[in-house]
Structure 1
Amino acid sequence: MGIQIPAELKPFVTFFHPVLMTLTLILALYALYLGIQFRRARSAEGETKKAMMSARYNLQHHKIGSLFLVLMVVGCVGGMAVTYINNNKLFPGPHLFAGLGLAALAALSASLSPFMQQGKEWARITHISINVSLVAIFAWQTITGFDIVLRLIDQMSKATA
């Protein structure tokens, strides 16, 4: 016995994952911006440093990063759930594996936070490296996702024709 999504909700449920993940990518880019600003503030001097530190980029980066982690995990699980509900199977391939890897990278990156708070430079460098890789993979995965969305739209238009 499979779970059935009511026909009137199916388009919304089906496209919730792509919309959520597109917004999550935008959020990731904003978190990257905040992280760069905090890195600049840490290396600034004098009044410039004082002014930049008062913007509290570190707290904003931490909050946005936490929201990113939640959305990444929920989006990953939700995307797999909707795919399984709609098709009674998952489709092993680059998009699925990249999504699982991204969720793992996001968790790994977040786990470095206590070490960064202790001033460990290796943790900051690792955090930055993971997140730059994460954003690059996420951008590539978005392209593979748009291909899937186009196929879904084509299937839906043929079903209604």
Structure 2
Amino acid sequence: MFAALPSSLAFGLNFVHPLLMWVLLGLAGYAMFLGIKAKKTRTATAEDRKELIKGQFAKRHYLFGSLVLAVLVLGLVGGMAVTYINNGKLFVGPHLLVALAMVCLIAMAAALSPLMQAGNLIARKVHVGLNMTLMTLFLWQAVSGMQIVNKILTAPAA
């Protein structure tokens, strides 16, 4: 089905996904920081708000959140593709299932944006809850992903 990749390329592809996901975890943390600052701006006193508005935290949160959404989806598909290319199958286990759940969570959180922009407080709270769940799962994924990387590194050469 696929032309065989050179073994060094196939082996190296195993590490693109983990590296990308660690960068993405940092970006997601930064997006969360911007969201917290955006809330602080919204709820600040008029005097404090004047200074906080200069940071454009809501706009930056929206942009970084969009980037996190796109890279998370591409990272999931890329990780699945590399696994399939190198092994001829996917390993359906907790790491993959949690990744699929994470994509659903971030899609639902992003879909709440129009409601939040209209001032819907319930949508805002659900957005925060979904993203806090996402970050918790992401931290677990980082640990389980490193366990997978360790298995790849310690596996006997085929």
TM-score w.r.t. the length of structure 2 is 0.96
Question: Are 1:136 and 2:139 an aligned pair?
Answer: no
Distance in 2, Cα, partners of 1:67 & 1:119: 23
State the partner residue of 2:22. Answer: 22
Aligned residues: 158
Question: Are 1:151 and 2:151 an aligned pair?
Answer: yes
Secondary structure of 2:157 counterpart: helix
Over the aligned positions, Cα root-mean-square deviation in angstroms equals 1.2
Unaligned runs of 5+ in 2: none
Render the CA deviation track for 1:98-124: whole Å, top value 9, x for unaligned. Answer: 001111111111111111111111110
Residue 3 (structure 1) shift: 4.2
Question: Are 1:102 and 2:114 an aligned pair?
Answer: no
Tell me if the contact between 1:2 and 1:88 (Cα under 8 Å) persists in the aligned partners: no
Tell me if the contact between 1:34 and 1:57 (Cα under 8 Å) persists in the aligned partners: yes
4+ long deviations beyond 3 Å = none
State the partner residue of 1:10. Answer: 10
Question: Are 1:91 and 2:91 an aligned pair?
Answer: yes
Distance in 2, Cα, partners of 1:46 & 1:114: 25
Moved more, 30-39 or 2-11: 2-11
TM-score w.r.t. the length of structure 1 is 0.94
Residue 46 (structure 1) shift: 2.1
Unaligned runs of 5+ in 1: none
Tell me if the contact between 1:105 and 1:130 (Cα under 8 Å) persists in the aligned partners: yes
Secondary structure of 1:52 counterpart: helix
Render the CA deviation track for 1:5-45: whole Å, top value 9, x for unaligned. Answer: 22232233111000001111111100000000111111100
Q: Give me the identity figure in percent.
A: 42
Distance in 2, Cα, partners of 1:121 & 1:143: 34
